Chains A and B, each alone.
Chain A
Amino acid sequence: MMDEKLLINLKKQSTIIRKHVIEAVYHAKSGHPGGSLSSADILTALYFHVMNVDVKNPNWEDRDRFVLSKGHCSPVLYGALAEKGFFNKEEIVKFRQADSFLEGHPSMRYVPGVDMSTGSLGQGISTAVGMAIAGKLDKKNYNVYALLGDGEIQEGQVWEALMSAAHYKLDNLIAFLDHNGLQIDGNITDVMSPEPVVDKFRAFGWNVITIDGHDFVQIIEAINEGKKTEGKPTMIVAETIKGKGVSFMENEAGWHGSPPNEEQRNKAISELDEILTKLEVE
């Protein structure tokens, strides 16, 4: 079982990252809060428990890599990287501004800690496959992590990437599906159903694990199982809630790409602060 103290720390950390998400999109008056909030626990587990990275040497060649294939969820990545210490947290309120390096979609050339520029859906997972191939070629021990959206997998390139990862037995690649069920135009099953995703990933030769994407114990156990799996890549299908942590954003497709106004921002922040206060007591 996971250490209680560690669990509380991860919960606190993900709540703080969620606050960054709200502040980023509020100040930018644009951006994507819904999918950032749904994947905040996954990124927290990766950056604050799992991944081997060095904030002083972001391009360290033996580091674990992370590719945010659903690049529009940059607020959660920036929140995690800033909290980790890759850059100053005060930069977050400049998200999407002309004088900031925090581009709307992540750029590896501008942002310390970003391992790949993403934004155009479907491409990130292919670049993660490339990183995993490079790791195998060099006989390195690093792992490559990627996060896909469940709308994103409507892109055909994703399936080309999945096929190639299984073909080359990339057991150093662990991908997450942020299965929150919503995309801009509504439910994924109404817009263009990618279901049944678990069967499809299995048919493409991946080791598939389904978890509650907001349960740190399950997230970390699934990653550990993925690391132990030999001869095939692992897909962790994380059942998540779009907008998780902010009551009025939860399960609302409308919050995919809309910023909160001042009142909504204040409400969101106070809800998240309340979670933090409760965690302090624990």
Chain B
Amino acid sequence: MKIATREAYGAALAEIGSDNNIIVLDADLSKSTKTDVFKKKYPDRFINMGIAEANMMAVAAGIASCGKTVFASTFAMFASGRAFEQVRNSICYPQLNVKIGATHAGITVGEDGASHQCIEDLATMRVIPNMTVVCPADGVETRQAIIAAAKTEGPFYIRLARLATPVLFDESTYKFELGKGVTVREGSDVTIIATGMMVAEAVEAVEVLKQEGISARLINIHTIKPIDKDIIVKAAKETGAIVTCEEHNVIGGLGSAVAEVLVENCPVPVKMVGVKDKFGKSGKPDELLKMYGLTSKDIVSNVKDVLKLKK
């Protein structure tokens, strides 16, 4: 079964919308970001701000300053890029209760091409003080992350995708804990640390590696900030080599965040699977994942490379 995290986001908003304190803002993209699911159920608490993302983010801050929990949605590119400074100065600096639901992140946006494929947002959002950054791996995790964000005071950036991807977790047993990594597969030779839709690719990679006699641990880091240092350091100590996987530039995202933890606490060889500092392009998502080296096959080859560096 496959579901896009943006679909799960819209459904989760409609679910938590029974709380009158929740207000949803969008910038003329409600059908794409799926906030229209909330809009249909709670039209009085849905506010369309038009194609004006900078204004939307600061309006969200103003509403939040009056005690509301505000979800503000648009594409990741505009939420984190165009409105960066509003997010920094009007939301994060005063530490207001705004949750940015940023959809269409990464190259799996597909046909729209580079202008709409945000590969910088994990870097630009995690660098802002007071910001919590979450990048869910599937629909189940998205739902729980949205519920957690709504319950937690302060600014959030939640990175969501357009493309339908496999559901990895079981709703009845999965427990999302903010700031805690999830060990998806146990393993002892190497650790794969992934976020977002790359967790599904990494699950496949683990299976391939197992057949080749390599025991790979897989950790899902859904909270990019604050990052779970303990699970990363433990993995480095126990397996001695790390491969990070993200649908994001290798500069500044998950790979960098993991490397920051490792160099200070337990330096081990690291390989980073991600977009190699270049813009995306138009194409089918699957084609693009191959072109940009973001498939399970690429993870497997990076694991083999990092194992050569392991002492």
Interface residues of A (CB under 8 A from B): 61, 67, 107-109, 115-117, 119-120, 122-124, 126-135, 137-138, 156-157, 160-161, 163-164, 167-168
Instruction: Establish whether residues A126 and B59, one from each chain, have CB atoms under 8 Å apart when the complex forms.
Output: yes
Instruction: Establish whether residues A127 and B61, one from each chain, have CB atoms under 8 Å apart when the complex forms.
Output: yes
List chain B residues, Cβ under 8 A from A120.
85, 89-90
List chain A residues, Cβ under 8 A from B44.
137
Instruction: Establish whether residues B66 and A160, one from each chain, have CB atoms under 8 Å apart when the complex forms.
Output: no
List chain B residues, Cβ under 8 A from A108.
65, 94
List 10 contacting pairs A-B, 8 Å CB cutoff, sorted by A: A61-B67, A116-B62, A116-B65, A126-B55, A131-B63, A135-B66, A137-B23, A160-B50, A161-B55, A164-B59
Known contacts A128-B62, A164-B50, A164-B52, A134 near B68 by CB under 8 Å: yes
* CB-nearest residue of chain B to A138: B66
**Which single member of A117, A129, A134 contacts B93 (CB below 8 Å)?**
A117
Q: Report the contact-size class of chain B (Cβ under 8 Å from the partner).
A: 20 to 34
Known contacts A107-B94, A109-B94, A127-B59, A163 near B50 by CB under 8 Å: yes
Instruction: Establish whether residues A117 and B54, one from each chain, have CB atoms under 8 Å apart when the complex forms.
Output: no
List chain A residues, Cβ under 8 A from B65.
108, 115-116, 127, 130-131, 134
Q: How far is the CA of A168 from the CA of B62 in the complex (A)?
A: 15
Nearest-Cβ distance from residue A4 to partner chain B, whole angstroms: 38
Q: A116-B62, A126-B55, A134-B67 are in contact. List 18 more A-B contacts (CB 8 A).
A: A107-B93, A109-B95, A116-B61, A117-B93, A120-B89, A126-B59, A129-B58, A131-B62, A131-B63, A133-B59, A134-B65, A134-B68, A137-B44, A137-B63, A156-B54, A157-B86, A163-B50, A164-B50
Residue B60 is within 8 A (CB to CB) of chain A in the complex: yes
Interface string of B180-220 (1 = CB under 8 A from A): 00000000000000000000000000000000000000000
List chain B residues, Cβ under 8 A from A161.
55, 58-59
List chain B residues, Cβ under 8 A from A133.
47, 59, 62-63
**Which single member of B47, B50, B86, B95 contacts A126 (CB below 8 Å)?**
B86
Known contacts A117-B89, A164-B59, A134 near B66 by CB under 8 Å: yes
Instruction: Establish whether residues A117 and B90, one from each chain, have CB atoms under 8 Å apart when the complex forms.
Output: yes
Number of A-B contacts (CB under 8 A): 104
* CB-nearest residue of chain A to B51: A160
List chain A residues, Cβ under 8 A from B50.
160, 163-164, 167
* CB-nearest residue of chain A to B49: A164
Q: How far is the CA of A126 from the CA of B55 in the complex (A)?
A: 6
List chain A residues, Cβ under 8 A from B62.
67, 116, 126-134
* CB-nearest residue of chain A to B90: A123
Instruction: Establish whether residues B85 and A160, one from each chain, have CB atoms under 8 Å apart when the complex forms.
Output: no
Q: How far is the CA of A108 from the CA of B60 in the complex (A)?
A: 16
Q: How far is the CA of A210 from the CA of B282 in the complex (A)?
A: 52
Known contacts A109-B95, A120-B85, A127-B90, A163 near B59 by CB under 8 Å: no
Instruction: Establish whether residues A116 and B55, one from each chain, have CB atoms under 8 Å apart when the complex forms.
Output: no
Residue B45 is within 8 A (CB to CB) of chain A in the complex: yes
List chain A residues, Cβ under 8 A from B45.
137
Q: How far is the CA of A120 from the CA of B85 in the complex (A)?
A: 9
Nearest-Cβ distance from residue A153 to partner chain B, whole angstroms: 14
Nearest-Cβ distance from residue B22 to partner chain A, whole angstroms: 11
Q: How far is the CA of A129 from the CA of B68 in the complex (A)?
A: 14
**Which single member of B61, B85, B93 contacts A130 (CB below 8 Å)?**
B61
Known contacts A117-B90, A120-B89, A164-B52, A130 near B67 by CB under 8 Å: no
**Which single member of B52, B58, B90, B95 contacts A163 (CB below 8 Å)?**
B52
Q: How far is the CA of A160 from the CA of B90 in the complex (A)?
A: 16
List chain B residues, Cβ under 8 A from A61.
66-67
List chain B residues, Cβ under 8 A from A160.
50, 52, 54-55
Nearest-Cβ distance from residue B57 to partner chain A, whole angstroms: 8
List chain A residues, Cβ under 8 A from B93.
107, 109, 117
